[in-house]
Amino acid sequence: MDIKDFGATLQTTFIGCQIEHHHQVASTNDIAIARGKAGAAEGTLVIAEHQTAGRGRYGRKWEAPPGKCLLVSVVLRHRLLRDQVALPNLVGAIAIARALQTTHGLEAQIKPPNDVRIREKKVAGVLTELAYDAQQHPFFVLGFGVNVNIGLEDFPPELCETATSVHLACGHSDDQNTEVCRASLLHAILHQLEDTYLQLKAGETELIMNQFEELREIVPLRHNLS
């Protein structure tokens, strides 16, 4: 299934009600924020094949070769309570980790507050940004990037030891012709995202935190041997 056509079979209730697909953008979050300010419906998706100025937490640059990742932002209009401000990142990370588990059997875990990792290597990240529309109604954009079909040769040297992809984690490193279906994975992520986001809207904070604790990465202590 081509990523451009995945919306035709998406069976979510409201996420993906409107979908924009771009070949290249500076940042999907920037476009989603602009759409949100203009009154875009909750669940509006912005998808790109490549970002020239993708970013993570603290403005860190997100590198992704064209056509090999999921680069997605969604407009969400729940008015966050003060004790919920940190939860959207977890909602996104939970959705990605669960989708990787259910679709590919990968032991994906969350490194707080917004990274998803497999065997202590980053496979995905989430970035939530708050904004106000023309009527001064608050909304937020939940953006995420997932390394899907990246091979070892695609990573810059400084990331080879700390990053991975779904392709690599599934053991396809020796078969460059075996691609993970990005559209199917995005379907799974968005279904999980809608379910967990509805829990946020219902105020089920404890339920979300319990799911997070189940997925939290526990890194074993390493002892220096002398």
**Per-domain residue ranges for the chain?**
14-215
Predicted confidence (pLDDT) per residue in 173-185, tens digit = 556 668 999 999 9
- Given this model, what pLDDT does residue 99 score? 98
Instruction: Please indicate, yes or no, whether the overall pTM of this predicted structure exceeds 0.85.
Output: yes
Strand segments (E) across 7-137: 19-22, 45-48, 69-76, 108-111, 115-118, 121-132
Q: Which CATH class is domain 14-215?
A: alpha beta
Question: CA–CA separation, 145 vs 74, rounded Å?
Answer: 12
Confidence (pLDDT) at 27: 94
pLDDT at position 132, please? 95
For residue range 14-56, what is the model confidence (pLDDT) as tens digits? Answer: 999 999 999 999 999 999 999 999 999 999 999 999 998 766 5
